[in-house]
């Protein structure tokens, strides 16, 4: 009986990380400054910047050699002046989570998990802004929405097929959904830390 050759066979990499389609409850997430490793309490962050405009986004990147998928979520507190209609500068915090790899064929599942993570963050922000609001200040207007790392046109990327589903997930909560080219929180800011 001839032995099988292992030449040319790809070794399957097993990840030590959890199922990529689930994630820990948001209360357990360890948020950090965008640039650096200092821990940040997200409730204190939201309270401190309650007068700013909040954008939320999540992106992920798969690293097949190590069998890992890195998810990064961001909360951007954008310094926006409503009267002038312009803004300048932002303060950002991030949460990065490593999971087992998401197969390339599972693009819709990966995009759904990214969007679900962002929805959980928006729910936390909304809860805090409602708590901070009073008769004089309605801080809920400061929740800008969710950036989804999804193309608007199939010519530009396969993710466009899932656009309606992903946008529907966000608008069902009453929030605005931003897709490319307007999804900077996910496709640029979060992507930079994956």
pLDDT at res. 101: 77
Mean pLDDT over residues 149-176, rounded?
A: 90
- Predicted confidence (pLDDT) per residue in 44-68, tens digit: 999 999 999 999 999 999 888 888 8
- Predicted confidence (pLDDT) per residue in 83-120, tens digit: 887 888 999 999 999 888 777 778 888 899 999 999 99
pTM, rounded to two decimals? 0.86
The DSSP 8-state label assigned to residue 34 in this structure reads: S
Tell me the average pLDDT of the chain. 87
How many CB atoms neighbour CB 34 within 10 A?
A: 19
- SS3 (DSSP) at 13: coil
- SS3 (DSSP) at 50: coil
Q: Taking each helix axis as running N to C, give the angle between helix 107-132 and helix 163-171, from 0 to 180 degrees, rounded to the nearest 10.
A: 20
Which position has the higher pLDDT, 26 or 177? 177
Q: In this model, does residue 40 exceed pLDDT 90?
A: yes
């Amino acid at each position: 009986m001839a032995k099988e050759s292992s030449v040319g066979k790809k070794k399957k990499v097993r990840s030590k990380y959890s199922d990529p389609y689930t994630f820990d409850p948001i209360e357990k997430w360890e948020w950090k400054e965008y640039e650096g490793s200092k821990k940040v309490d997200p409730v204190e962050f939201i309270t401190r910047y309650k007068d700013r405009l909040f954008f939320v986004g999540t992106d992920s990147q798969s690293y097949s050699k190590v069998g890992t998928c890195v998810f990064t979520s961001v909360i951007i507190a954008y310094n926006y002046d409503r009267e002038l209609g312009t803004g300048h500068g932002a303060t950002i915090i991030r949460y990065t989570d490593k999971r087992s790899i998401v197969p390339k064929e599972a693009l819709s599942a990966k995009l759904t998990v990214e969007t679900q993570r962002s929805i959980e963050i928006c729910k936390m922000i909304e809860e805090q802004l409602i708590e901070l609001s009073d008769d004089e200040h309605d801080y809920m207007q400061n929740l800008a929405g969710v950036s989804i790392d999804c193309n608007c046109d199939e010519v530009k990327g396969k993710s466009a097929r899932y656009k309606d589903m992903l946008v529907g997930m966000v608008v069902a909560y009453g929030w605005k959904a931003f897709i490319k080219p307007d999804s900077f929180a996910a496709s640029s800011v979060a992507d930079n830390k994956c």
